[in-house]
Amino acid sequence: MAKAIHSMIRVLDEARSVDFYRRAFGLEVADRFPFDGFTLVYLRNAETDFELELTINHGRTEPYQLGDGYGHLAVAVDDLDAEHARFEREGLSPLPIKEMHRDGALMARFFFVQDPDGYRIEVLQRQGRYR
């Protein structure tokens, strides 16, 4: 059976992205590997072994075009309202909390936030299938 271990995104400014993911999701640098032309930074927290891999291409000055294929990353939290308030205090500009219902029952409570490169991250209340 395959195990998901990381997702990679390309970012323009390493320090800005590391700061965002630390403040937003408690992700810390697990490893950092500089190469000729690019650097790989792996972020994770104590909740999971799954990592976010940041790829920084040296010398790049133009923002990446996300295109129309990228959707979002998603994380689950224990207290969505508290996290939303914390994001606001941190100046991370979360969008309003939304609810999604299916067959008359609450399926999900969530909000979205964008990282410094425009990647959308969905923050879901831990419940049901979102654990």
Write the DSSP assignment of 62-85 as a string of letters. SPPP-TTT---EEEEES-HHHHHH
Q: Classify burial at 125, counting beta carbons within 10 Å of its beta carbon; exposed 0-12, middle 13-18, buried 19 or more.
A: buried
- What backbone phi and psi angles, to 5 degrees, belong to 124? -110, 145
Q: Which of 67, 75, 70, 58 is nearest to 11 (CA)?
A: 58
Q: Specify whether the CB–CB gap between 76 and 124 falls below 8 A.
A: yes
DSSP state of 25: H
**For this structure, is 51 an active site residue?**
no
Please pick, among 51, 53, 83, 122, the residue that the annotation labels catalytic: 122
The residues annotated as belonging to the active site are 122
